Amino acid sequence: MSKLVIVESPAKAKTIRKYLGDGYEVTASMGHIRDLPQSQLGIDVEHDYAPRYINIKGKEKLIRELKSEAKKADEVFLATDPDREGEAISWHLATLLGLDPEQPNRVTFGEITKKGVTEGMAHPRAIDRNLFNAQQARRILDRLVGYKLSPFLWRKVRRGLSAGRVQSVAVRLIVDREKEIEAFKPEEYWNLDAVLSAPGSQKKFTARLHSPVGGKKMTVSNEQQANEIVAALNGKDYVVTELNKGKRSRVPAPPFITSTMQQEASRRLGFTPTRTMRAAQTLYEGVEIEGQGVTGLITYMRTDSLRIADEAAAAARDYISGAYGEQYVCPQKRTYKTKSATAAQDAHEAVRPTNPAFTPEEADKSLSGDTAKLYRLIWSRFIASQMSDCKMDTVSASITAGDYLFKASGFVVTFDGFTALYEEATDEKEKKETSLPPLEEGQVLKLRELKSEQKFTQPPARFTEATLIKALEENGIGRPSTYAPIITTIIDRDYVEREAKKLKPTLLGRTINELMEEQFPTIVDVKFSAEMEKNLDKVENGTMDWHTTIDEFYKDFDATLQKAEENMEGKKIKVPDEETDEICEKCGRKMVIKTGRYGKFLACPGFPECTNTKRLVKDTGGVCPLCGSRMLVRRSQKGRIYYGCEKNPTCGFMTWDEPTAERCEKCGSTLFKKMGKGAHMYCAKEGCGFTKPLTRGTPAKEEKDG
């Protein structure tokens, strides 16, 4: 008896084939095989929003092969990914191959290992209609918004634009943040720090001005006030008036879910969400491991569950005990509360290694590049989540000088616990506490220095990809499978651009967002979008009908669209040009950035009188070590950033190392920044050879998809 198993990808098929053995054929559908037509709406809005699915163009041969193999098989199992998209692919395969979706022909694998595949094959089930309907409802909603709104934008702004139900909300978040930054008015304040030491000790520590003695916490708002306090402190003793000692524990971060994995990979590795998911998909589907063959190394990577299987936790504890000692094992299995209450989503585990005993050091013998880096991150985070707390002794000191109170705090780590392996990265620079010397109440301290420093309050930071994902998740917008596509889409549409790892709205993005806020306020409303996600979850749970979900949205949307057409009749919005410092050599005007069929270019704003255009290039500020011309930012065919002389191909100089504004101390040429192990600055001018260490605080080059 022959059995056919259909998965999405050849890599996954190869791994599963190894575990199933004789009697099974495993083939791949190469993702979706049916979808809504590209050239038309494909939804009958008059008849219960019935979708019209067609076979995807270019997959005719594959479909014939799948039908032929299914006809020859005694049993067919649909083993696509265990989420909404996977369920939809299985439903379409069942329809195409004439399988009964009510029969137990659907299998799922939480991990692509022998255990995971064996368990999945042992528990076949019917296709989950609720899960499929949730995907179908999302697809129809997105199609209705995209196909109805895009032509409106074409007519009212310019051709080639498009809008999306979820992406438009993401753009609004970024635009709103930019408006906050622009509206921010910095306020001056001063820090007063006393650098002190205990009697007989050379160890210095810093105490910061807190308040007048017996008063509330104060803010020193200008230099005059700071100088007055410094003068009042002149000659005063600094006396320890109160000591508070305590103990503190830090618990490890939970294992990864999709969003936290993308955030941490962005912070630590510089990966885009798409790059992270590509590496995770490879680790899940299986890679060739020395001595083991093709093996899936992590559990399914699209999840918002923090659940961990008992056997995985036990394996982690065994590893920790052997590698670090019993004292590093958490006394009980750690459990973490999952935000989502959706049962289907909680069917998955958190993202973890399938075999906790398989260390990154072992993996590095078979993995390289992105998969090796991401596996190390996933493995370390999971193992640390099952380790003991970090224990600290803390002390805070109140120090009186004249009429003013200073405070200092610090800690000493008494047991490192999970921090021996891993600590979560953060987006903000945290104030680092240090240990204080032994202090006693009544002790008179020696003043080494009294420092006053002018500061200004800072505006909110622009979103990074990591913080945007966090904001989307916290606001209930999108789901694990959508975070990466959302960011990719808004950048590809030129609504948002990356600037030094930060996401900044373009003039086009701001124009479209303003139009959407005026004419389609619910589409870009964060709360409305979050409510729609909850409704889709209800469809998945079987507590809400998918037709009702769409109908409630579409009736209001259609009425809003008609009203927008009336409001905008005869009107067209012009996207402002972005002015540059590049001077038109023909007429002397400042050139502007335009977008054409082949991307952005520079054009003279004097058109039609002046028709001058030229390529848009980004100057690095560095000069070519061969000919002295400008060094420009360029992009390879694979999208990777490199740096080349503006006189290429005549000159020919190019490098992957970023030119800097610094000049060589020996010859005055541009210094280049070499990142990675042993990072340093160097001069590329022939015969010079100057190098120097990369100073702390020098910004690292952003890693790009390549």
What are the catalytic residues?
A: 300
* 142 burial via Cβ count (<10 Å: 0-12, 13-18, 19+): middle
d(CA 466, CA 259): 8
Phi (first) and psi of residue 281, to 5 degrees: -60, -40
d(CA 538, CA 263): 27
* 5 burial via Cβ count (<10 Å: 0-12, 13-18, 19+): buried
As beta bridge partners, residue 216 has none
**Owner of token pair 């750690």:** 334
**Sign of CA pseudo-dihedral 685, 688, 691, 697:** negative
Is residue 156 within 8 A of residue 515, CB to CB? The reply is: yes
Please count the other Cβ atoms lying within 10 Å of the Cβ belonging to residue 415. 14
| HSE-CB of 284 using CA atoms within 13 angstroms | 24
**Owner of token pair 């190894």:** 18
**DSSP state at residue 134:** H
**Helix, coil or strand: residue 655:** strand
Please count the other Cβ atoms lying within 10 Å of the Cβ belonging to residue 501. 16
Is residue 621 within 8 A of residue 629, CB to CB? The reply is: no
As beta bridge partners, residue 645 has 631
Which amino acid, one-letter code, is at 412? V
Please give the sequence-ordered ranges of beta strands (E in DSSP) within 86-237, or none if there are none: 188-197, 204-212
d(CA 141, CA 511): 24
Name which of 89, 65, 92, 67 is nearest 79 in CA terms.
Answer: 89
d(CA 423, CA 356): 18
d(CA 4, CA 7): 10
Name which of 266, 279, 298 is nearest 425 in CA terms.
Answer: 266
Please give the sequence-ordered ranges of beta strands (E in DSSP) within 255-356, or none if there are none: 287-289, 293-295
**DSSP state at residue 101:** T
Q: Report the run of H or E that residue 548 belongs to, with start and end.
A: helix 546-567
The encoded tokens of residue 162 equal 């498009």
Name which of 409, 398, 410 is nearest 445 in CA terms.
Answer: 398
User: How many Å from the N-terminal Cα to the C-terminal Cα in the chain?
Assistant: 45
**Owner of token pair 């001077």:** 583
Is residue 77 within 8 A of residue 124, CB to CB? The reply is: yes
